[in-house]
């Protein structure tokens, strides 16, 4: 599959209505030995209650290795989608910190984050 910024993809193993990953950037990361990183926003990947009632969970910026993103993409939804408003701020924080990238499928990363929030 050919991935480009702006694409919106369905996510394997996430059945939540409206769940999608929107690509914001794709680049090699020197701190990851040049691995290609797909920076994206995840929309509606779960319903959570943060104290004000149930709402759709959005990750404004989250980086995945190309192999992890490829294993998770389950069909192109649209070619010109927008990331969340928080994407750029999250990306610049990641870049400044020389951050890593998830090397597991998106559904697993979301599940792990939800489990960590419960613990």
Predicted local confidence at residue 39, as pLDDT = 98
d(CA 83, CA 24) in angstroms, rounded, equals 6
Predicted local confidence at residue 116, as pLDDT = 84
Predicted local confidence at residue 9, as pLDDT = 98
Pairing, β 47-49 against β 54-56 = antiparallel
d(CA 52, CA 1) in angstroms, rounded, equals 39
Predicted local confidence at residue 62, as pLDDT = 97
d(CA 117, CA 111) in angstroms, rounded, equals 10
**First-to-last C-alpha distance (Å) of the chain:** 37
Instruction: Give the pLDDT means over successive 10-residue stretches in the chain (119 positions).
Output: 95 94 96 94 88 85 97 96 97 94 96 84
Kind and range of the H or E run holding 83: none
Predicted local confidence at residue 49, as pLDDT = 76
Residue given tokens 């927008």 in the structure block? 82
Edge to edge, what strands does the sheet with 35-43 contain?
Answer: 59-65, 35-43, 20-29, 8-11, 73-78
d(CA 76, CA 100) in angstroms, rounded, equals 26
Asked if 74 and 106 touch (Cβ cutoff 8 Å), the reply is no
Predicted local confidence at residue 53, as pLDDT = 79
């Amino acid at each position: 599959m050919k991935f480009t910024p702006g694409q919106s993809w369905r996510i394997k193993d996430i059945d939540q209505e409206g769940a999608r990953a929107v690509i914001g950037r794709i680049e090699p990361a020197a701190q990851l030995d040049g691995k290609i990183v797909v920076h994206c926003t995840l929309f509606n990947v779960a319903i959570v209650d943060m104290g004000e009632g149930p709402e759709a969970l959005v990750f404004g910026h989250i980086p995945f290795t190309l192999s992890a993103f490829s294993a998770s993409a389950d069909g192109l939804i649209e070619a010109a989608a927008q990331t969340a408003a928080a994407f750029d701020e999250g990306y610049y924080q990641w870049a400044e910190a020389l951050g890593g990238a998830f090397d597991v499928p998106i559904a697993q990363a979301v599940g792990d984050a939800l489990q960590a929030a419960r613990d």
